[in-house]
């Protein structure tokens, strides 16, 4: 007989307390996003506002130079007024970065939907042997975001 905590796809069932904590975090994040004063005063349509808000979230990442990693890597973006904070988990690296300023819909390329090149400022990262905060101003990094397709592309210099 199969263990009742495992589904037919051999995925562990979530623990109810974990689900409640996750829902509370989601609700707090959603409220924070809906109350973002900068986003709320932009002179844009409701659909464009929805597209900008939808940037906030979790992204699966594929590194073209390392296709064997698949889409096992994660990157999270969070609006903070007119800038985006990001965190990533690219084992063995984990870290935090800032995109300041972010962008508006009017700055997106009409043909591709992507934002202009956005500067990425590395705030630090952790490896198996500890946390690092080296001089990061010389590490070339940039990203482009398409708010309509919720896709992100980038060049992350230290990886």
pLDDT along the chain (159 residues), means of 10: 38 53 77 89 92 86 70 81 87 81 92 92 67 58 87 75
- The reply to whether 56 falls in a domain is yes
Determine, yes or no, domain membership for 92.
yes
Strand partners, 132: 125
Q: Which runs of E-coded beta strand occur in the chain?
A: 57-61, 73-80, 83-90, 93-99, 118-119, 121-127, 130-132, 141-146, 151-156
Residue with tokens 């080296």: 134
> What is residue 109's predicted lDDT score, i.e. its pLDDT?
95
- Is 3 domain-assigned? no
| Cα 141 off chain centre by | 15
Say which residue the tokens 């994660």 belong to. Answer: 74
Kindly state whether residue 10 falls inside one of the protein's structural domains.
Answer: no
Global pTM exceeds 0.75: no
Give me 25's structure tokens: 């975090």
pLDDT of residue 12: 47
Distance CA 4, CA 144 (A): 44
How far is residue 125's CA from residue 122's CA, in Å, rounded to a whole number?
8
Please give the pLDDT value at position 138. Answer: 59
Q: Is residue 127 part of a domain?
A: yes
Structural domain span for residue 112: 16-156
Residue 80 lies in a domain: yes
What is the tally of structural domains in the chain? 1
Residue 41 lies in a domain: yes
Q: According to the model, what pLDDT value does residue 6 have?
A: 35
Residue 34 lies in a domain: yes
């Amino acid at each position: 007989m199969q263990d009742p905590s495992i589904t037919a796809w051999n995925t562990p069932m979530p623990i109810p307390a974990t689900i409640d904590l996750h829902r509370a975090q989601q609700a707090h994040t959603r409220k924070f996003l809906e109350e973002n004063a900068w986003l709320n005063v932009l002179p844009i349509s409701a659909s464009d506002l929805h597209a900008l808000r939808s940037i906030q979230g979790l992204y699966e990442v594929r590194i073209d130079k390392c296709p064997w990693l698949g889409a096992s890597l994660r990157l999270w973006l969070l609006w903070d007024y007119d800038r985006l904070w990001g965190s990533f988990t690219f084992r063995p690296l984990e870290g935090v970065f800032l995109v300041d300023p972010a962008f508006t819909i009017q700055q997106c390329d009409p043909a591709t939907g992507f934002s202009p090149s956005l500067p990425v400022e590395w705030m630090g990262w952790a490896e198996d042997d500890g946390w690092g905060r080296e001089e990061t101003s010389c590490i070339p990094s940039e990203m482009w975001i398409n708010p309509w397709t919720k896709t992100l592309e980038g060049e992350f210099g230290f990886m």
